[in-house]
A and B are shown apart, each in its own frame.
Chain A
């Protein structure tokens, strides 16, 4: 098959959908593992879209949704109707020659399909299975439905952000998904290491909400060790000043977080006279309103990028608040070739964020874009599983495989 990257030779069956699971396997695919994404024409990845209609399918809407196209590059895609005996058997054959399976279904889905870790284990004794439901595979909440927002809420993180008179504040529409994806990739690598070293596979139980707890560990540790949670203070800090987002020209903002006296001296050197009257940290913390007003006075006369450049030149941690339509033009990311344009059928060129680690100065490879539905049916079923053309044609005739979504029953009415 496609030999590439440091994890070549590792094969992962990816049953996951949405953001978290596909992000986990994307990391492995970026490193050269052969990730076979299994969808079906009926139950395709919901990141392709979740309100399928005839006209949407006719317009190839399922191939155009940016979230799907961001998460599935470097993967192979096969459609198998797991509700049929043949589809299920083919999945198990694929598992039998793979190292790992990843899934993030709701708890009831795999048992209904007569699938699960024990079944995969019968197909391959040493299989690694990473299971990624919102709240993990055990406990009273194991069947609970969750989005990436639900898990952020459940992790208590909103109590650590925002102003004290606001309700607890979330920081993303789906924070839990990306963080669980990173943990899923980590879990896969650790379990694969154990497999390669000992020959033992295993079940990995990952809960999205638990993956978020380290992001709030400063609050958890304070509660645990002192009996009190840190207060919410908006953008301010009990330990540092100035510390916040400051207005700039044209309605833009710059974040400045002074974390030590050296940085404070840098700021004093740039801003000069207006902040000369503020002294050591205790003085600054005691007069934050005045200090913020003076810093805002300085920033508001400048463009955010100019303020950032001037402050950074003096060793002050400052960053302009970037908008999402600017991110892919960011000069630093551009200079580092962080974004890569990849051409894809149905969409044309799309930017892809490279993995945030690079080896010997080179970003990880992005060899091909996210696959179209069933794009690699022949490559997977013929090349990997050894089916002949007649068998593959028959599977297509029987509707076990395909390349076009079916309209869900409720939308067809």
Chain B
């Protein structure tokens, strides 16, 4: 549901999402939370995202997905499977998002241009509009595997580890937002006109995490390989250790951070070993050092270590569980979680848009529309009712 009184930085932009995927949903969410009018143009059974876990027990489909609720704040939902009506809805749009890798689109660029001459069409797909993988079926794990994101995750000789959740699609949605926003802005400032087809592939978006590594190896530097949980050559210690009150995240790279860390966790004898000035040397001895560090911090307080370590300029952090996240001082202070409200799911806190525009802030949290909740009003507005 769109916020009725809000004018944000993207006010006046209309986006139609006819894709229904997670990446498109996140891209559209960034538009909607900043004040754009985003219409979810859904088939009668609703978008695919409405069936994506977490599914909340006791709530009837298609309204039970927590993921869909997060992706759909401040948007309107219209049920429409009629191509003539779809064209009417697109009148005056700045952007239409589809998920097609074929020429058989619900709204081809030529037809879109007839009703919205300056609109861009954004196609977010797993592998893009051409190339040998174009017709491949994707998933988060498949795209991350091909983008070389998981080869270095896990223990040597064991299966590589696939990160949980929807990393690849969220990152693709963010990337698509950049590409689309650039085209929308270019049209508004007069640097571009006419239709444009923007395409984003989830696979290629993931390369932003691995391009440096690929170029390093291309330059003859050693390749990082799977060598243990939380083991990334050649930063050491880089890990997560249990303390008496929670998990401690450690990243120690420079000599001064190493000395500070040793002092902090009362391992001064390690600080006295000259070769450990080098992170590479510490990394080589990680199997020996890890149990020593783990034992040293096990009886200490992670909260105190983080506070005192940061005073010494050692980059330590808490590693909050999902439950603890909501009460981390920093996040409470910055109101990082705000209520999202859905007519069937109720109200629950979820993360707000990560970047804060002080002069034109995004909507914190927001309302989620039921499937088709806005059909009548939107079609009427578009002059397409009946």
Contacts and interface: CB of A to CB of B under 8 A. Distances in A.
A351 to B, nearest CB: 6
B378 interface: no
Contact of B310 (A144, A153, A216, A245): A144
Interface in A239-261: 239, 243-247, 253-257, 259
A323 B148 contact: yes
A235 B162 contact: yes
A184 interface: yes
A324 B199 contact: no
A351 B251 contact: no
Contacts of B321: 156, 159, 229
Contacts of B189: 9, 196
Nearest to A30: B182
Nearest to A47: B212
B354 A207 contact: yes
Interface string B45-69: 0000000011011000000001101
B258 interface: no
A406 B27 CA distance: 44
Interface band, chain B: 35 or more
A330 B319 contact: no
Interface stretch (A80-88, A131-139, A269-277, A389-397): A131-139
Given A66-B216, A149-B249, A257-B141, A141 B329 contact: yes
B244 to A, nearest CB: 15
A347 B326 CA distance: 47
A193 B163 contact: no
B186 A317 contact: no
B239 interface: yes
Interface in A64-118: 64, 66-67, 69-71
A58 interface: no
A324 B54 contact: no
Given A66-B221, A190-B181, A213-B351, A353 B330 contact: no
Contact of B251 (A135, A149, A235, A256): A149
Interface band, chain A: 35 or more
Contact of A186 (B70, B167, B178, B336): B178
Given A186-B181, A200-B359, A323-B151, A217 B70 contact: yes
A206 B130 contact: no
B145 A255 contact: yes
Contacts, number: 472
B133 A332 contact: yes
A36 to B, nearest CB: 19
A279 interface: no
Contact of A317 (B138, B177, B331): B138
Interface stretch (B98-106, B342-350, B369-377): B342-350
B235 A204 contact: no
B161 A210 contact: no
Contact of B334 (A130, A197, A207, A336): A207
B147 A312 contact: no
B182 A320 contact: no
A325 B217 contact: yes
A154 B212 CA distance: 23
B43 interface: no
Interface in A159-180: 159-162, 166-173, 175, 178-179
A211 interface: yes
B243 to A, nearest CB: 12
B310 A322 contact: no
B278 to A, nearest CB: 10
Contact of B174 (A69, A143, A154, A182): A182
B213 interface: yes
Contact of A189 (B182, B315, B345, B359): B182
Contact of A192 (B178, B185, B239): B185
Contacts of B192: 6
Contact of A204 (B143, B147, B214, B355): B355
Nearest to B182: A31
Contacts of B203: 332
A87 B316 CA distance: 34
A186 B325 contact: no
Given A197-B188, A223-B323, A182 B330 contact: no
A333 interface: yes
Contacts of A192: 185
7 contacts: A136-B334, A153-B247, A161-B164, A170-B230, A255-B142, A257-B141, A324-B152
**Closest CB pairs A-B (n = 3):** A357-B179, A153-B249, A202-B359
Interface of A: 6-9, 19, 23, 27, 31-32, 50, 64, 66-67, 69-71, 130, 135-136, 138-141, 143-147, 149-151, 153-156, 158-162, 166-173, 175, 178-179, 181-187, 189-194, 196-197, 200-207, 209-211, 213-226, 229-230, 232, 234-235, 238-239, 243-247, 253-257, 259, 263, 312, 315-328, 330-333, 335-336, 338, 347, 350-353, 355-361
Given A139-B333, A317-B136, A321-B160, 15 more contacts: A167-B242, A179-B174, A226-B56, A230-B164, A312-B136, A324-B210, A324-B214, A324-B217, A335-B131, A338-B204, A347-B219, A353-B208, A353-B211, A356-B179, A358-B179
